[in-house]
Amino acid sequence: MRSIRVAKSYLRQAKARLDNAVDSVREGNHPYAVRLSQECVELSLKAVLKAVGIEYPKIHEVSDIFPEVRGRFPDWFKTEIDYLRESSKLLFKKREPSLYGDEEALLPPNEVMSKDDAEDAVDRAEKTYSLCERLILELITIVKKRK
């Protein structure tokens, strides 16, 4: 049960970042929207791993562990793992440029991250969050039924 509590906390943090990412797109702060979306995806994935009792590496991009532990998830979630991994990897690659820009080319973040980048990042974060929330809610229901 403790792992579910931790997972719910991570998911709450993910939702806060998602909400702020949506606001950032509206405000035209595209780099920040990408950064927050990456954090949302990271926290959402760590939440589901924690919820099913999997210790993940203490790094920002944890999607490589999913193929190894695929069997711990319900079928509907398994069908989304490739998308989740792709999203995590893509947003992780944009993590540093969204924060620092392209330092070698002396481009600030707002010249590196476009509106399209931000909208795609938020879309990926929304879908990832939604899938992970659904899984955790299902797990909570199962735990409650056992009591």
Give per-residue pLDDT as tens, 29-84.
Answer: 999 999 999 999 999 999 999 999 998 888 989 999 999 999 999 999 999 999 99
Q: In this predicted structure, what is the pLDDT of residue 147?
A: 64
Any idea what the CATH number is for the domain that residue 134 is in? Answer: 1.20.120.330
Cα separations in angstroms, 113 against 43, 61, 100: 22, 20, 11
pTM: 0.94
Q: How many other CB atoms are found less than 10 A from the CB of residue 6?
A: 14
Q: Which domain holds residue 29?
A: 2-146
Q: In this predicted structure, what is the pLDDT of residue 101?
A: 92
Q: How many other CB atoms are found less than 10 A from the CB of residue 144?
A: 8
Mean pLDDT to the nearest integer, 97-107 = 91
Give CA 64 to chain center in angstroms.
14
Average pLDDT, the chain: 94
Q: Residue 1 above 70 pLDDT?
A: no
Q: Number of structural domains, the chain?
A: 1
